[in-house]
Amino acid sequence: MRIVVLTGAGVSAESGVPTFRDADGLWEGHDPMTVATPEAFDHDPTLVQRFYDERRTALTRVQPNAAHQALARLEAELGDDLCLVTQNVDDLHERGGSQRVHHMHGRLRAAWCTACDARHDWEATLVDRPPCPACGSAQLRPDVVWFGEVPYDMEAIEEALWACDLFVSIGTSGVVYPAAAFVHYAIGNGRQTLELNLDESDTSSDFHQSRRGPATELVPAWVDEVLR
């Protein structure tokens, strides 16, 4: 069975990574249009760099959870029949054991040089405008996809959605596009769809089946079902 799994902030919530729209979410403290758009970066690069530096540093204080580990187990069994796509910029899927992860919205632990277009694995801060290791210019930005920018790996993702038998969405509110439209791609191609989420999402009613509960319970149970 070929499966496409899409994850959102909910899969990392129990690891202590704040979600966006939940009560104590990131968007509580920050207006996304002032920290997550190219215009915001042009207008106040220090504010934007600080916002991402804090989140990058916070990654050192969190660990993958049972949901990340279960998806790594599924990858080990299914191989290329699993396509794991995440909207998350954290690296908990990889630290949970997943080898192949499509970060459609980029990665916190990466920096992109807008002068020479090089991308670098990056653990440190960027607010102090460090030089690009490739060209030396001080034009590094977080390698994340901001609102109004084109998501990464869209071709591979659309191909996998076209070829899959089952589309599964885990821990996402279904508010941000094009990710929120993936269930419609899958249904449009006559594929089965399943949602695993703590609360009702904006697209819950579009899924063939929607289960409620924390990812650390729902995901291992679902993976056991698939592998049984």
Q: Is 201 in the site for ligand BV8 (CB under 6 A)?
A: yes
In whole angstroms, how close is the CB of 20 to ligand BV8 at the nearest point? 3
> Site size for ligand BV8, by CB under 6 A?
37
70 lies in the binding site for ligand BV8 (CB under 6 A): no
Residues 110-169 that bind ligand BV8 (CB under 6 A): 144-151, 154
105 touching ligand BV8, by CB under 6 A: yes
Q: Does the footprint of ligand BV8 cover residue 19 (CB under 6 A)?
A: yes
Q: State the minimum distance, in angstroms, from the CB of residue 136 to ligand BV8.
A: 27
In this complex, which beta carbon is closest to ligand BV8, that of residue 132 or of residue 196? 196
Compute CA distances 158 → 73, 102, 119, 155, 181, whole Å: 24, 12, 24, 5, 11
Residues 6+ apart with CB under 8 A from 62: 12, 15, 16, 17, 90, 92
| Contact mark string toward ligand BV8, 30..69, x via CB under 6 A | ------x---------------------------------
Binding to ligand BV8 by residue 221, rule CB under 6 A? no
Task: Give the one residue of 4, 6, 8, 169 binding ligand BV8; rule: CB under 6 A.
Answer: 8
How many other CB atoms are found less than 10 A from the CB of residue 61?
Answer: 9
- Decide if residue 10 touches ligand BV8 (CB under 6 A): yes
Structural contact between residues 165 and 191, judged by C-beta atoms closer than 8 angstroms: yes
**From the CB of residue 54, how many other CB atoms can be counted at a distance below 10 Å?**
11
The residue (of 55 and 81) whose beta carbon lies closer to ligand BV8 is: 55
Residue 9 binds ligand BV8, judged by CB under 6 A: yes
Residues annotated as part of the active site: 105
Residue 214 CB, shortest distance to ligand BV8, in Å, is 4
Contacts with ligand BV8 by CB under 6 A lie at 8-10, 13-14, 19-22, 25, 36, 87, 89, 105, 144-151, 154, 171-173, 175-179, 197-199, 201, 214-215
